[in-house]
Each structure stands twice: as C-alpha cells, then as structure tokens.
Amino acid sequence: MQNKKWFLGAVLTVLAAVAAVVSMHPGLTAQAADQSGPAAVKIDNFSFGPETLTVAAGTTVTWTNNDDVPHTIVSDDKQFRSKALDTDEKFSYTFSKPGTYSYFCSVHPKMTAKIVVK
C-alpha cells in the first residue's frame, strides 16, 4: 500500500514536469493540440507562431493576423496563397497530403515558416 502511494506520487510529479516542459515550448503544445482537430498559427510582430507546426493529414490550419499591418500566407511553391489579411483577419487551408510546406509573407518576405504534415 505504502509502495503504491509512492508510485502514484512519482507518476503525478513526472506528469506535472512534462506539462511544464510542454507549456514552455509552444512548438510542442501545437504538436499536441493537432491531434484533436483544427490547428492555429498566429501572426504577431512580423512572425508566424509557431514557426514549425506539425499536423496530421486532413488538418485545417487557420492563420490569424494580430499585427497592425497586413500580411499574407503564400506557400513557396504557390500551392496556397491568401489575400492580404488585415488586423484580426483569418485564412484557412486544409492539408490533405503528408509533406513539408514552406510558406512566407509576400509583403514581408523575411517572415518564413512551415507546416509539416504527417
């Protein structure tokens, strides 16, 4: 009985540690979140977050522009391309096939990121 209690305590500690690590790494939380439905990329301060988002095939990714200036989402190979998104506007795209999809903002091309579809 005493042993079981100790074991449970240890498991809970490990779980808490994992949760803490995951919450400190946005990339990991994003990856964890995609297991259940839609995934999100936020645009803040001229950058895409997370910079690399891993999703399952069939996932719809939605980008939201939180900046005061317009941005676009354009895949390097032009497979998908949004209109210019003003503040708070969104763009969605469903990734049906596995692969790595690099994209950038055609207005501010220094902004680059990618979606990895498993």
Partner 1 sequence: MSDYIKENLNQDGIDRRGFLKCMAWAGTGALCLLQGGVLKSFALSDITRQNIGRLKGDLSFVQISDSHIGFNKAANTDVTGTLRQAIAKVNALPTPPSFVLHTGDLTHLSKAEEFDTLAESLKSLRTDQVFYVPGEHDVLNDNGEMFRERFGKSSLGEGWYSFDKNGAHFIGLVNVVNLKAGGLGNLGPEQLAWLKKDVANLKSSTPIVVFAHIPLWAVYPQWGWGTDDSEQALSFLKRFGSVTILNGHIHQTMQKIEGNITFHTAASTAFPQPQPGQGDSPGPMKVPDDTLRQVLGITDVNFVRGKHSLAIVDSTLA
Give CA–CA dist 24/20, Å, rounded: 6
CB of 101 to partner 1, least distance (A): 12
Dihedral angle over CA of 6, 10, 12, 18, nearest 10:
180
Residue 2 in the binding site for partner 1 (CB under 8 A): no
- What SS3 class is residue 13? helix
Outline where the chain has alpha helix (H).
2-24, 26-33
Q: Which is nearer to partner 1, 25 or 83 (CB)?
A: 83
* Interface positions, 74-103, toward partner 1 (CB under 8 A): 74, 76, 83-84, 86-87, 102-103
Residue 56 in the binding site for partner 1 (CB under 8 A): no
Q: Which is nearer to partner 1, 95 or 104 (CB)?
A: 104
Residues 6+ apart with CB under 8 A from 9: none
Residues of the shown chain interacting with partner 1 in the complex, contacts defined by CB under 8 A:
45-47, 67-70, 72, 74, 76, 83-84, 86-87, 102-104, 106-110, 112
